[in-house]
Amino acid sequence: MSERLQPGDVAPAFTLPDADGTEVSLSDRKGRKVIVYFYPAALTPGCTKQACDFTDNLELLAGAGYDVIGISPDSPEKLAKFREKESLRVTLLADPDKKVTEAYGAYGEKKNYGKTYLGVIRSTVVVDEEGKVERALYNVRATGHVAKIIKDLGI
């Protein structure tokens, strides 16, 4: 199981392909605040709700200086389908080997219907302009999470 990040930690660097196969790096966003969120699977109800919430609030977040990046173990092709089907405008990145997900502490033991298994833990990490962790939230709910972030960040 991976270590969870704490405020003040340096956010792990990453370069991953987006839905079009274009490489996107956290370092490309230096000087901007970035909300990096991890979700288990594209095209599932909870993940769709969360991605749509971020898309619906993208202008508000961007206006406050935040970029939004969603990361899942899905392939770029699946992310492209997800983006088209749901008209998503957030940047979606593919992490099929889960290296970035693990580096951010968003992979580990989960419980569902009494079974314990390893999987992606729905998590959100807010990275400041200097590349440091401002907040790290783990085991978040898909519904209502974006509204809570907006409130917590004072936007």
Whose CA is closest to 134, among 115, 153, 147?
Answer: 153
What value does the mean pLDDT of the chain take? 95
The residue from 16, 24, 35, 47 that is catalytic is 47
Condensed to tens digits (0 to 9), the pLDDT of residues 93-112 reads 999 999 999 999 999 988 87
Residue 82 lies in a domain: yes
Residue 22 lies in a domain: yes
> Which CATH number covers residue 22?
3.40.30.10
Residue 1 has pLDDT above 60, yes or no: no
Residue 144 lies in a domain: yes
**What's the pLDDT score for residue 2?**
63
Whole-angstrom Cα distance, residue 100 to residue 29?
Answer: 16
Residue 3 lies in a domain: no
Domain count, the chain: 1
- Per-residue b/e over 64-75, b at no fewer than 16 CB within 10 Å? eebbbbbbbbbe
Q: How many CB atoms lie within 10 A of CB 32?
A: 13
- The reply to whether 47 belongs to the active site is yes
